A and B are shown apart, each in its own frame.
Chain A
Amino acid sequence: NAGVTQTPKFQVLKTGQSMTLQCAQDMNHNSMYWYRQDPGMGLRLIYYSASEGTTDKGEVPNGYNVSRLNKREFSLRLESAAPSQTSVYFCASVGAANTGELFFGEGSRLTVL
């Protein structure tokens, strides 16, 4: 049972390069989220998708774009990476039962030089 799968797990970029982080969940969850975790900062919400076809900004959306490709997949794109985007990125999902339990992926560690 895979749960939430993120790819890639590690990536090094140069300033100005672009890349897409992929996320897929196999739990038939409606809502999906992208968080970033920086040292000493906790997790901060970048973007979320309450349901297929909708996306909304979170706390720190600048420099990112997202696509809810279908119910399973939610991608995060960095169009022009900056060193300030060096972070660990977590994708998460939650089902319609609203138990409060977000299911997180294992994380994608991104370094921008």
Chain B
Amino acid sequence: DQQVKQNSPSLSVQEGRISILNCDYTNSMFDYFLWYKKYPAEGPTFLISISSIKDKNEDGRFTVFLNKSAKHLSLHIVPSQPGDSAVYFCAASEGRGSTLGRLYFGRGTQLTVWP
């Protein structure tokens, strides 16, 4: 059973608008959350992360929001650019240390940003 869920397989947004990608999780032991971006024929690349002690983390055009009570996080991209078109994976971990790499991934959301 998937512990990290991305229920929207695809999202299409016009350039300049906001993209909002959503992610839900079921495991209450998760305390670290990450977003990865993946282009075709490449490996995933880290985008942004958030610890469970925070509810928001911002890095340039990317902001991640965490709602622990709802077990929900979202990634906001403002403004969206055509180069943002990629698959976005939500991932979660039970903590740092040697288990950090034991990430549980969602199935991904294909974001398409059109001009």
Q: Which residues of A does B touch, CB under 8 Å?
A: 4, 31-33, 35, 40-45, 48, 50-51, 58-59, 90, 92-94, 98, 100-107
Can you sample 17 A-B contacts with CB below 8 Å? A31-B100, A35-B105, A40-B9, A42-B6, A42-B105, A42-B108, A43-B91, A43-B105, A44-B105, A51-B98, A90-B43, A100-B93, A100-B96, A102-B46, A103-B46, A104-B43, A105-B43
A45 B100 Cβ-Cβ under 8 A: no
Q: Which residues of B does A touch, CB under 8 Å?
A: 2, 4, 6, 9, 32, 34, 36, 41-46, 49, 89, 91, 93, 96-108
B71 to chain A, nearest CB (A): 17
- The residues of B that contact A59 with a CB separation of less than 8 Å are 104
A3 to chain B, nearest CB (A): 9
From known contacts A33-B101, A50-B98, A98-B97, infer whether A42 and B106 are also in contact, taking CB-CB under 8 Å: yes
B46 A42 Cβ-Cβ under 8 A: no
A48 to chain B, nearest CB (A): 6
Grouping DSSP codes into helix (H, G, I), strand (E, B) and loop, the A interface class, with mixed when no group exceeds half, is: strand
B43 A94 Cβ-Cβ under 8 A: no
From known contacts A48-B101, A107-B42, infer whether A42 and B89 are also in contact, taking CB-CB under 8 Å: yes
B49 A106 Cβ-Cβ under 8 A: no
